[in-house]
Amino acid sequence: MSKSFLFALTSFVLALAITPAQAAPPADSPLAEQRVVVVDVARVFKNHRRFNQDLELLRQDAQTYQAMLRTSQEQLQQRVDLARAQDPNSAEFRQAESDLTQELAAMQVNQRQKGRELAEKEAKLYFDVYMEVSRAIAAYADNNGVNLVLRYNSDPIDPADPKSILEGVNREVMFQQNRDITDQIIATVNAGQAVESTANRTGPPNR
């Protein structure tokens, strides 16, 4: 082996030692300024106390209405059975048939209206809480120098559940380490306090 070859090989090894395989971006590069965090919005909803309390009230309202509706239907069925025992050519039968038809139509209209009412209330509840969570996330990002928040799913993939596997394959965030702010957002929304961003502060934020 010639000395010139040894010198070239040594220079190459030294160059590898002092030159990283992937150089860090310059300080003024946009990549150097990125700070990314992730949040599990579904878990925030699951642990949002006021949201779950209001959702339970809606469910109780729906159950109460269903019970009342079943009672009305049973009473109506009893009247139908009594009407069938009458002479179908009698005035009493025709009047009972007319009354029952009107009451059944009114019951169906009321049922549709109640269904829309409950659906609208549930949708508004989800919307209001989602906006609250969004504001909490935005304030956290503003106060902590975060410029990108990604939504992700922290639930483990169930290998025995095809649906869970498919959802896992389609997840956008495949890996994160020490980037999850879900617990902080849950604490914020459950505290019931307004979140102040640095944009509204006159002094430096407390760290």
Contact in structure between 31 and 148 (CB atoms under 8 Å): no
pLDDT in tens, the chain (207 residues): 554 544 444 444 344 444 444 444 454 544 445 699 999 999 999 999 999 999 999 999 999 999 999 998 888 888 888 877 887 788 887 888 888 888 888 888 999 999 999 999 999 999 999 999 999 999 999 999 999 999 999 999 999 999 999 988 988 888 888 899 999 999 999 997 544 444 444 343 333
- The pTM score is 0.70
Quote the distance between the C-alpha of residue 16 and its chain's center: 48
Vertex 111 angle, CA 94 and 71, to 5°: 70
Q: Among candidates 124, 144, 129, which has minimal Cα distance to 184?
A: 144
Six token digits for residue 86: 């009458």
What is residue 95's predicted lDDT score, i.e. its pLDDT? 84
What is residue 134's predicted lDDT score, i.e. its pLDDT? 95
Continuous H helices in 144-175: 162-169
What is residue 202's predicted lDDT score, i.e. its pLDDT? 38
What is residue 172's predicted lDDT score, i.e. its pLDDT? 86
Q: Among candidates 180, 171, 172, 192, which has minimal Cα distance to 43?
A: 180
Instruction: Say how far apart CA 49 and CA 82 lie, in whole Å.
Output: 50
Contact in structure between 180 and 37 (CB atoms under 8 Å): yes
